[in-house]
Amino acid sequence: MFLFSFMKSSTEVAKGQPTPSPSEKEAKFLHALANRAITADERGQVDTAIDLYVELIERMLVQVRGVHDPDEQLVLRRRIEGYVKRAEELKVAAAPPSAAPPAVKSKAQTQSKARTANAALAHVVLDEVLDASPNVQWKDIAGLDDAKQMLQEAIVLPLLRPDLFTGLCAAPKGALLFGPPGTGKTLLAKAVATESKATFFSVTASTLTSKWVGEGEKLVRALFDMARELQPSVIFIDEIDSLLSTRSTGEHDASRRLKNEFFTQLDGIGSSSEDRILVLGATNLPHELDEAMVRRLEKRVYVPLPDIAARTYLIGHLVSSHSHSLTQRDIAAIASATDKYSGSDIMNLCKEAAMGPLRSLGDRLKQARAQDIRPISKADFTDALARVSPSVSADTLRRLTEWNARYGLQKAT
């Protein structure tokens, strides 16, 4: 009987290696609990199996908080995901046909279904929101030195050393990365999680609204519950303005409930002295954020367009994996010509330049060999600059600069 995608069979689940645990006694208990759940599952005792799986999931979520090794954490999360998936499958299989009359449920049955529903939402968080390996470090990001320094001092160090950063120096509950599109805000968020050794949850508006219409606030609660279990945690909300924009009288009720739940959960962070959870938003449109959310995102860091040093490094890095005839002086000249280009604009520029040697083959391209393709030249970049323009308007930059002057975190002198 195949139960989980990461295990071969239920027998191997029961008889395999014990789940990593800070306590051998707890490990033995979880091992026995998994045995009981699997046995009930195999015997067709659906309600019993669901209850046992849910108890197992809850205990493992507590257990994973004491595991600090990233590989062991990953093993635990995958096992939890498998148990959640199986509990969800049993719940669906046990559901009565739609035509059947509703039966009167006991209190125990009602509680069991509620717990299983929570487990199903936990599965969504693990499957669609949890990023098990962001694996981006500061050194992987070109430029943005001021932003990296501010994030290191304001967020990473307090998360790493909560014993030193206490009281007024404690880590913030929320932070905001804002700036033009394509400047590396998502990479910075992943680096914050990696450098602070935190669990990384990545949320988009579509996760909460499109696929789970009417369930958004429940999923938000499940997300924060999971973040508490796996802390230190970073909850990254990309394009946060699309979720938490300024409230209006004509707003849909579901959207209003979702925002209120976010505010409630964010206010709840730090209620325990052990909480190490950060909500990190990213936006190109900070002026559209609800003021209540701006207030809760205490550290607001501007992520600007890359300066000439960052552009030089980025262009050199992007062409390094291709055959090219560019000198350092050529690369510096190209970087000088890309003022007001974002990181993604430079990526598009390099892609366009890399197409030059292929285009020059014309009709011979279909029969050409790899060694027939000439290196990328400065002329290819000259042509590419005529085709690829900066995507950020002067008005957008002006508004972002003004918002930064009013609300942004300024570099310490």
38-56 pLDDT tens trace? 888 888 888 888 888 888 8
Count of CB atoms situated within 10 Å of the CB of 295: 12
Tokens of 97: 């046909």
Q: What is the pLDDT of residues 195-217, one digit of tens each?
A: 988 888 888 877 776 555 567 77
Tokens of 406: 């009013």
Residue 41, φ and ψ in degrees, nearest 5: -60, -50
For the purposes of burial, counting CB atoms within 10 Å of the CB of 69, is it exposed (0-12), middle (13-18) or buried (19 or more)?
A: exposed
Q: What is the pLDDT of residues 138-187, one digit of tens each?
A: 988 888 888 999 899 888 998 888 888 888 888 888 899 999 999 999 99
> Which pLDDT score, from 0 to 100, does residue 118 have?
60
> Which pLDDT score, from 0 to 100, does residue 230 have?
81
Which residues neighbour 153 within 8 Å (Cβ) at sequence distance 6 or greater?
412
Q: Domains in the chain, ordered, with CATH?
A: 10-92+111-128 (1.20.58.80), 138-305 (3.40.50.300), 308-391 (1.10.8.60)
Give 127's DSSP letter: I
- Give strand pairing partners of 302: 178
Count of CB atoms situated within 10 Å of the CB of 163: 6
**Amino acid identity, position 281:** G
> Which pLDDT score, from 0 to 100, does residue 130 have?
74
CB–CB of 99/134 below 8 Å?
Answer: no
Is there a cis peptide before residue 390, judged by omega within 30 degrees of 0? no
pTM over 0.95: no
> Which pLDDT score, from 0 to 100, does residue 210 have?
56
> Which pLDDT score, from 0 to 100, does residue 8 have?
33
- How far is residue 322's CA from residue 306's CA, in Å, rounded to a whole number? 23
CB–CB of 302/404 below 8 Å?
Answer: yes
C-alpha dist (Å) from residue 127 to 38, 80, 84: 22, 11, 10
> Which pLDDT score, from 0 to 100, does residue 302 have?
94
> Which pLDDT score, from 0 to 100, does residue 204 have?
81
> Which pLDDT score, from 0 to 100, does residue 325 have?
95
CB–CB of 380/357 below 8 Å?
Answer: yes
- How far is residue 155's CA from residue 149's CA, in Å, rounded to a whole number? 10
Which ranges of 95-143 does DSSP label H, i.e. alpha helix?
Answer: 107-124
- How far is residue 323's CA from residue 215's CA, in Å, rounded to a whole number? 51
Residues of the chain with pLDDT under 50: 1-22, 98-117, 413
At which residue do the structure tokens 């599965």 appear? Answer: 123
Q: What element of type H or E holds 283?
A: strand 277-283
From start to end of 108-172, where are the E strands? Answer: 130-131
**Amino acid identity, position 246:** T
